[in-house]
Structure 1
Amino acid sequence: MILLLFVVSFDPFYFIHYSDPQIGRNVAAQPNLEIAVSQINDMQPAPHFMIVAGDMGNNPGSQPLVLEQWEICDSLFDLLALPKYYIPGNNDIGYEDEGCWTPAMLQFYRDFWGPDYYSFDADSCHFLALNSTLLDTYSPHACYPYSLEQDSFIRWDLQNIQGQEYKHLFFFFHFPLYLISPYEPNGHTGVDRPRRDTILQYLVDYDFAAVFAGHWHFDYVNFYWPSLLQTGIATCKTDPPVGYRVVKVFDNGIETFTIYLPDPIDSLSLVHIVTAAIDHDTVEVNVPVSFTCVVDSVNFPNWSDLSFKWKFGDGDSSTVPNASHAYVDTGHYQVAFTAYELHDKCALYRFNIVVEEGAYVHDDLVRERSIDCMRVHAYQNGVELNIVESGNVVLDIYQSDGRRLKRVMDRYLQKGIHRVELESDLPSGVYFFRLVARGKPSVYKYVCVH
């Protein structure tokens, strides 16, 4: 039994998804940005980088005015001692059907902010940032050749990363792909078809983890399985809520949530708030697999009201946090799990399962194997082990971020039930036990409450 979370070759990190600072929109835009910059500067550990998903300014119809707004925005973000990446929004360069959207305006943007589409790598992850106005630009517009150049760049970039072992792929652009349905009509609310359809197909073909966008000025969670589609709240509003988004990146998934102004956050723990696990990564046909989720609502009480969904990769799904599922056909399946609130929080994790043909096993052996278990007493600081065959037993306890806390046992046990005492000073929280008996590992969740 294998818990994929315990792979430790990847160091978790987080980045800031900032959207629509939009200096010049109203009297609140600049003061809100100043507060956000001060908060981000105080965060420990520091964010890995920040990406600003467009609308740094507010008046693309006036180059002198939008330049003044850009300069204010840039000077404030320049106070952050971390890498920063920018992409244009419609309030920087215009919508595709506005008169200000011209090759000259595009060059004006590039001269100030740099490239309007590009890609970069960070810690075994690949990030692809696009100009969404170019995505909506078609012939006979004067900027149409530039949109074709961006199309070619996307294809080149995705072909170039094939065969490389990236943990996650991410898209960033200003316009979201859609609001409710991928088939909704074109307009200023999202990326127009047919390029919308092309990007959606890229999500599937290249297994993107998420698309982060802006434009709407509020948080909205959507899914184009197995990808997360997430907009970002803005700081250019006069009324709350205003804020910016944190994206925590783990080995097999991400967690993301909004930080609302003016509430400060000085420290950010790079541990799992939502822990998802599967008990096997290789199974036989018609053998049930356990899919488990634990939400650390003790330390993070505002994550207590979540919706859940497991998609097992074979067309079946479940909307409960802990599920069991058996595969009827052999093959390789990608399992996706999410726990989310519609407008704020989301955890997305993915697992791979190989389903093989089963061998004939005598019924007595099936019954013997089925009674391997460990009873966890959350309030009695102890566990009971039901050992069905004498042998060496190893029991470890792990923190929710996958780090081993300590080895509880490594010794020979006779067949039968054994009680193991735990230290009474174990802090409240979510843990995992990993039991190896008869050479077979098993994983069990444990919620400790004092």
Structure 2
Amino acid sequence: MRLFFPATLFLIAFPMWMSNASAEDETSVVVDQRFTQAANRTFKAFNSPLEQSWQGPFFFLQLADTQYGMFTGNKGFEKEAALTQQAVEHINRLQPRFVIVCGDLTNATPDQTRYQAQVKQYHQDFSKVDTEIPLVCVCGNHDVGNRPTSKSIASYQKNFGDDYFSFWAGGVCNIVLNSSVLKDPTGAPEVLAAQQTWLEQKLLEAQQSKAKHIFLFQHHPMFLQKEDEPDQYFNIPLERRAPLLDQLKQAEVRAIFAGHYHRNAYGRAGEMEMITTGPVGRPLGKDPSGFRIVIVQETSIQHQYYGMDDVPKKINLTDQVKP
């Protein structure tokens, strides 16, 4: 059954939650090493020298917005856990090259009392993913705050590894950004500056290494439909969006993958696709809870979003899926 929820219920906050922490909320999370493989600005599960060579078509799964606690305003996370467990069953059956979760892993932010309990449940559910399938986590605004600081980013890194990094998989260069500092850098301008310097180098390296594709992953969409659309809650401000898009176009980035919108959206900036994927957790539009399957060919990609009840039994890499 597909679940639909009105946008008017999005991110309702109740101060009383902050004063009702349980003992479990305050308990430090013991983090499995698979959740902190993003370290030293790379991802340990991938052998970068080997993975820089094209090895044939493959597919990966893009998830977003598990956001444990959003259905109930942080009072519980049973629905998010059930949906995530359903997603994990699909992941283990399909056996993708990797899985990437594009932000808002939890609904509580690191300074809220329910954060650790939600992190613990996220770890518990995703620990069931086949250990042969790399699980890549991306930070969102709930993971580091709408106005991230060095402290909030450090809290995220403790539980999920680096907030920005890159990795190669099958001849494709994958770059993960902290889009929250792009959205609002005022609490951590030094992080945005360091990320930008690092990004310039990674794009240059990808071009010099003749990557078959360059993919960018982040939480916030650069834009929803048009690259010059007005600023709003769901996109990156034009002030930083426009020069970054020019940089990505020049580097011939193939596609940007994001979440945050809790619906699907699609646009282009020149030849570069801007792909916004709906939530594993609570939907805010007509698209049900689900995830995206991305098939990577040597010169092209195909992708399609599936609701949890409509995911195919298997993926045939010779099939063409609808964009």
- Taking structure 1 as the reference length, the TM-score comes to 0.55
Aligned pairs for 1:425-440 within 5 A: none
- One-letter code of the match for 1:187? Q
Give unpaired runs (5+ residues) of structure 2.
1-53, 72-77
- Give the Cα–Cα distance (whole angstroms) in 1 for the partners of residues 99 and 247 of structure 2: 24
Confirm whether residue 158 of structure 1 aligns to residue 209 of structure 2.
no
Of structures 1 and 2, the one scoring higher in RCO (CA 8 A, sep 6+) is 2
User: Can you list the C-alpha shifts for 1:385-419, whole angstroms capped at 9, x where unaligned?
Assistant: xxxxxxxxxxxxxxxxxxxxxxxxxxxxxxxxxxx
Q: Secondary structure at the match of 1:51?
A: strand
Confirm whether residue 48 of structure 1 aligns to residue 97 of structure 2.
yes
- Give the Cα–Cα distance (whole angstroms) in 2 for the partners of residues 35 and 64 of structure 1: 27
The offset of 1:215, in angstroms, is 0.4
Contact 1:134–1:150 under 8 Å retained in 2: no
Cross-structure match for 2:68: 23
Confirm whether residue 204 of structure 1 aligns to residue 253 of structure 2.
no
The offset of 1:263, in angstroms, is 3.2
Confirm whether residue 72 of structure 1 aligns to residue 117 of structure 2.
no
Q: How many residues align?
A: 260
- Taking structure 2 as the reference length, the TM-score comes to 0.76
**Counterpart among 165, 179, 199 of residue 118 in structure 1:** 165
The offset of 1:179, in angstroms, is 2.1
Give unpaired runs (5+ residues) of structure 1.
1-8, 275-344, 347-450
Looking at secondary structure, tell me which structure has more helix per residue.
2
**1:191–1:55 distance in 2 versus 1, CA, 3 Å:** same
Cross-structure match for 1:38: 89
Confirm whether residue 231 of structure 1 aligns to residue 276 of structure 2.
yes
Contact 2:206–2:214 under 8 Å retained in 1: no
Contact 2:98–2:135 under 8 Å retained in 1: yes
The offset of 1:77, in angstroms, is 1.4
**1:74–1:252 distance in 2 versus 1, CA, 3 Å:** same
Q: Secondary structure at the match of 2:208?
A: coil
Contact 1:137–1:147 under 8 Å retained in 2: no
- Give the Cα–Cα distance (whole angstroms) in 2 for the partners of residues 223 and 30 of structure 1: 33
**1:268–1:93 distance in 2 versus 1, CA, 3 Å:** same
Instruction: State the percentage of identical aligned residues.
Output: 27
Q: Secondary structure at the match of 1:162?
A: helix
- Give the Cα–Cα distance (whole angstroms) in 2 for the partners of residues 250 and 227 of structure 1: 16
- One-letter code of the match for 1:257? Q
Cross-structure match for 1:182: 227
Cross-structure match for 1:14: 59
Confirm whether residue 192 of structure 1 aligns to residue 237 of structure 2.
yes
The offset of 1:35, in angstroms, is 0.7
**1:206–1:69 distance in 2 versus 1, CA, 3 Å:** same
Q: Secondary structure at the match of 2:279?
A: coil
- One-letter code of the match for 1:84? L
Aligned pairs for 1:42-441 within 5 A: 42-43=93-94, 46-60=95-109, 62-81=111-130, 82-96=133-147, 101-138=148-185, 141-237=186-282, 241-273=288-320, 345-346=322-323
Contact 1:10–1:250 under 8 Å retained in 2: no
- One-letter code of the match for 1:132? S
The offset of 1:240, in angstroms, is 6.0
Contact 2:258–2:276 under 8 Å retained in 1: yes
- One-letter code of the match for 2:82? P
The offset of 1:10, in angstroms, is 4.8
The offset of 1:129, in angstroms, is 0.4
The offset of 1:266, in angstroms, is 2.3
The offset of 1:202, in angstroms, is 2.4
**1:61–1:124 distance in 2 versus 1, CA, 3 Å:** closer
Contact 2:110–2:152 under 8 Å retained in 1: no
- One-letter code of the match for 2:124? S
The offset of 1:199, in angstroms, is 2.3
- Give the Cα–Cα distance (whole angstroms) in 1 for the partners of residues 225 and 170 of structure 2: 33
User: Can you list the C-alpha shifts for 1:149-189, whole angstroms capped at 9, x where unaligned?
Assistant: 11111112112233212110000000001123322333321
- Give the Cα–Cα distance (whole angstroms) in 2 for the partners of residues 215 and 199 of structure 1: 19
Q: CA RMSD in A?
A: 1.8
- One-letter code of the match for 2:123? D
Looking at secondary structure, tell me which structure has more strand per residue.
1
User: Can you list the C-alpha shifts for 1:7-44, whole angstroms capped at 9, x where unaligned?
Assistant: xx75110001001011111152221111111111112x
Contact 2:57–2:298 under 8 Å retained in 1: yes
- Give the Cα–Cα distance (whole angstroms) in 2 for the partners of residues 117 and 58 of structure 1: 20
The offset of 1:61, in angstroms, is 6.0
Cross-structure match for 2:28: none
Contact 1:173–1:214 under 8 Å retained in 2: yes
